[in-house]
Amino acid sequence: MKPVRQAVLILLVALIPAGVTAVVHPRRPPWSGETLAPGEKKLKTVLSWGSNALWVDARSRPAYEAEHVPGALLLNLEEWDSLFPRFLDQWSPERKVVVYCDSKSCEMSHEVAARLERSGFSSVYVLKGGWEEWKKAAK
Amino acid sequence: MRTSFFILLLSIFAGSAHGQLVFDQPEQSFKAKPEQESIVAKYRFTNSGKESVKIGNVQTSCGCTVASLKKTDYAPGESGEIEAKFTFGGRVGRQEKAILVNTSETKDKPIVLRLVVDIEDQISIQPESVFWQVGEQPDPKKIEVTVADNAPVKILSVVSDNPSIKAELSEVKPGKEYEIQITPTDVSRQAGATLLIRTNYPQQNPQTRYAYARIK
Percent of chain B with pLDDT over 90: 69
Say whether pTM exceeds 0.80. Answer: no
Domain A40-138 belongs to what topology? Oxidized Rhodanese; domain 1 (3.40.250)
The ipTM, to two decimals, is: 0.70
Residues of B at the A interface, defined by Cβ within 8 angstroms: 1, 61-64, 87, 89-91, 97, 126-131, 133, 192, 194, 210, 212, 214, 216
Answer whether B61 sits within 8 Å of A106, measured CB to CB.
yes
SS (H, E, C) chain B: CHHHHHHHHHHHHHHHHCCCEEECCCEEEEEECCCCCEEEEEEEEEECCCCCEEEEEEEECCCCEEEEECCCEECCCCEEEEEEEEECCCCCEEEEEEEEEEECCCCCCCEEEEEEEEECCCEEEECCEEEECCCCCCCCEEEEEEECCCCCCCEEEEEECCCCEEEEEEEEECCCEEEEEEEECCCCCCEEEEEEEEECCCCCCCCEEEEEEEEC
Q: Give the three-class secondary structure for A89.
A: helix
| CA torsion, ordered B64, B69, B70, B74, to nearest 10 deg | -170
User: How does strand B93-103 pair with strand B123-126?
Assistant: unpaired
CATH 2.60.40.10 fits B20-119, yes or no: yes
Residue ranges matching CATH 2.60.40.10 in chain B: 20-119, 123-215
Mean predicted confidence (pLDDT) in A117-137: 93
Cβ–Cβ gap A85/B194 under 8 Å: yes
B159: pLDDT strictly greater than 80? yes
* Mean pLDDT taken over chain B: 88
3-class DSSP assignment, residue A121: coil
CB pairs under 8 A between A and B: 57
Which residues of chain B have a CB within 8 Å of the CB of A131? none
Q: Which of A63, A81, A120 sits opposite B127 (nearest CB)?
A: A120
pLDDT in tens, B165-188: 999 999 999 999 999 999 999 999
- Please name the member of B89, B128, B130 whose beta carbon is closest to the beta carbon of A77: B89
pLDDT surpasses 90 at B14: no
- Tens-digit pLDDT profile for residues B112-130: 999 999 998 889 999 999 9
Please judge whether B62 and A59 are an interchain contact, meaning their C-beta atoms are less than 8 angstroms apart.
Answer: no
Superfamily for domain range B123-215:
Immunoglobulins (2.60.40.10)
